[in-house]
A and B are shown apart, each in its own frame.
Chain A
């Protein structure tokens, strides 16, 4: 699936934001034009892709966000919108009027929620979020990014029940962003994250909420029992680190948010999604040849070699490169030097 970034503006400032290299603040910033959206839709359609995700910044800050969603659905795409749910009253009115008749299989919203205690929001934001969920709850999945070890999930279950949200939770870990400061889970703490996550198992089962893990979890940090639970909750093979393929408003494409500055290339240089995937596969091979995974044990691991586990996120490996002397091949060092220079 391709991610289309509608705008670089965002109205929230999350401590773990892995898009921070791309974000410009609540106003200004770049916006995707209609012409470019049509180009992307044609490009994806011609490549056989029928699913798109809309992201930002905060995609609902784009003045034509509603139009873009309706357009892509009309073009035959299944659209997923990643939002923080903090919509202005006028934008919410627009959503209520134009999107609440939409079949659930055509439109999917992922609302990224922050813990109200550990990452408090101002009352107006909470009010807007609640209003959004009251209207769009049935179309919305809850999303949560783990960025500290004492995370809780109780508030998510409360939101899902209160607003009749989809009973699926998208859970990600906050990744380090090369060249940038922000909260994230270090690789040595991933086991603790899994242990804590498993402690919520009873709540997942009680409320019949399925779990979908985002990229970057290493398989070896789960016990067989935990893996069985994951499998039964519907989170199949969450151990990859494939290109998310983000397309920015300036029509450049990159592997994923944390690696947004790594071998970024204009979409106009490609003729199909296949070509883009090839470009980013080369990037992956280049990095994985140097270091197979985030742990020493990844080298020679049969799960990694068999393609079941990617060996953690590439962004974590690139961060490791950054802390080293420049000993890597020129292709990597050229990219790494961009981060070093921007420091």
Chain B
């Protein structure tokens, strides 16, 4: 297992505590991007991306020319009105950016489709218990099967490009939630295995130094193998047709996620259709040689 990427707040002193990692810097405003990236480069780490967690809609965020080339994950509560966004769409499209929108608000499902159709890479954040699984399936169908050019919508684009996977593949990495790929640090350098656990202050180590080789660190190893419990415990998720993609992600709140099974089963079908389409296109290409 390679060295995991680090997700940590934008703090110069924290960045000095470790070296040689790819770092996703978290901040709440685009105003600090240049300063944060400069600190990071001085610290001997490399930039994985900058995560901007803003309370303002995308349409109200001012991006600057110097943001071009910096990988940006922009997490916003909404996209805002298109008329406000339209004026700086050309600038947004020039950025190396992915927009994260929470799907607990039905308007955001529409916004994701709009953003994708105008060429902005975006990501649906779902599974908080208020997901409209049917509308989400419509969005996934659009993301995967729409013929007109449009930007990818994650995690659907990730899922169709990587499945069927020969070994366990966690699409949670799209949301920086995969301990095999990302470790989350707080201001003091304490380590959590996910964003949610960081918020709940459930740390697995007091510093990165304690972890050593990640695949030999018991909490990480245990987390990566936790899917086995679904089978040993005869959990309903283990018998679900959508398991192969879902991997039990929504099991803690299964009653609230009654539609998740149908959604992931449909997702598997979308993967099959997408693969068939790709094969058909490749077959056509042979005749064009």
Contacts and interface: CB of A to CB of B under 8 A. Distances in A.
Interface of A: 33-35, 38, 41-42, 45-46, 64, 66-67, 70-71, 74-75, 94, 97-98
Contacts of B190: none
B194 to A, nearest CB: 32
B82 A46 contact: no
A74 B120 CA distance: 12
Contacts of B150: 42
Interface residues on B, range: 10 to 19
A172 B129 CA distance: 56
Nearest to B113: A38
A47 B117 CA distance: 16
A92 to B, nearest CB: 14
A261 to B, nearest CB: 30
B91 to A, nearest CB: 13
Nearest to B147: A46
Contacts of B146: 42
A106 B85 CA distance: 18
Given A33-B110, A38-B117, A97-B83, 9 more contacts: A34-B110, A34-B114, A35-B110, A35-B113, A42-B117, A42-B146, A46-B148, A64-B82, A67-B82
A261 B187 CA distance: 66
Given A35-B110, A46-B148, A66 B83 contact: yes
Q: Which label, helix, strand, loop or mixed, suits the secondary structure of the B interface?
A: helix
B86 interface: yes
B221 interface: no
Given A35-B113, A42-B148, A98 B118 contact: no
Nearest to A70: B86
B223 interface: no
Contacts of B81: 67
Interface in B123-139: 138
21 contacts: A35-B113, A35-B138, A41-B117, A41-B148, A42-B146, A42-B148, A45-B148, A46-B147, A46-B148, A66-B83, A67-B82, A67-B86, A70-B82, A70-B83, A71-B82, A71-B118, A74-B118, A94-B83, A98-B83, A98-B86, A98-B87
A171 to B, nearest CB: 32
Q: Pick the most buried of B82, B83, B146: most chain A CB atoms within 10 A of its CB.
A: B83
B147 A71 contact: no
A64 B81 CA distance: 9
B86 A71 contact: yes
A56 to B, nearest CB: 19
Interface in B151-177: none
A46 B150 CA distance: 12
B89 interface: yes
